[in-house]
Amino acid sequence: MSETPESSASRRGLSPAAWGAISAIAVAVVGAVATLTSAWWQRPAPSATASPPAAPAAAAVKAELPDPTTWAGSYSGQVIAPDGSKFEVTVQLRPGCVKGANCGTISVPHVPCKGRLTLAEVRPEGAEFSVDRFDEHSDHKACQPGAGEVLNRRPDGDLEYVATYSGAKGVLFAVD
């Protein structure tokens, strides 16, 4: 049987395109092995006295959230605005305050404003309340509804107060 040029080419092996693909794969494998080996060699050896690695931030314990359900009572105190002026704030909280519920009232007598407090959100830095439904004695032009009254319970039982919309801060002391 005589061989034709076509039949001898088919028996020679892989095509140039196949050899190119194999070469590319081989280069990628060699590169990966070199990278992994290099990374492995650069790691310090574990020490017998070394402490265990710290837990990743994602696995860290979440900051404990304030619990406004336990803050029932009356609180009052002087608050200082960023310009240095001082004014009185009084808060009355009902027991069992939960998100979205009417939790009590807030009063700023010098304006005058007295409105309903609704728990908007609880974050590690405090419980944010929204104010609305101002009473008939309030200056309805000066009293603006909305969120931004942040309270946080101190270890002594008093409340830290921050008005996020104005930067006013103070401590509201428990009133008997």
Q: What is the pLDDT of residue 33?
A: 59
Q: Where are the alpha helices (DSSP H) in 43-116?
A: none
Q: What is the pLDDT of residue 59?
A: 44
Q: What is the pLDDT of residue 102?
A: 96
The answer to whether 102 touches 117, Cβ cutoff 8 Å, is yes
Q: What is the pLDDT of residue 129?
A: 98
CATH topology for 73-175 is Lipocalin (2.40.128)
Q: pLDDT (tens digit, 9 = 90+) per residue, 92-131?
A: 999 999 999 999 999 999 999 999 999 999 999 999 999 9
Q: What is the pLDDT of residue 128?
A: 97
| Spatial distance between the Cα atoms of 139 and 134, rounded to a whole number of angstroms | 9
Residue-by-residue DSSP string for 143-161: ---EEEEEEEE-TTS-EEE
Q: Name residues of the chain where pLDDT drops below 70.
A: 1-12, 19, 26-62
| Spatial distance between the Cα atoms of 114 and 136, rounded to a whole number of angstroms | 9
CA 42 to chain centroid: 35
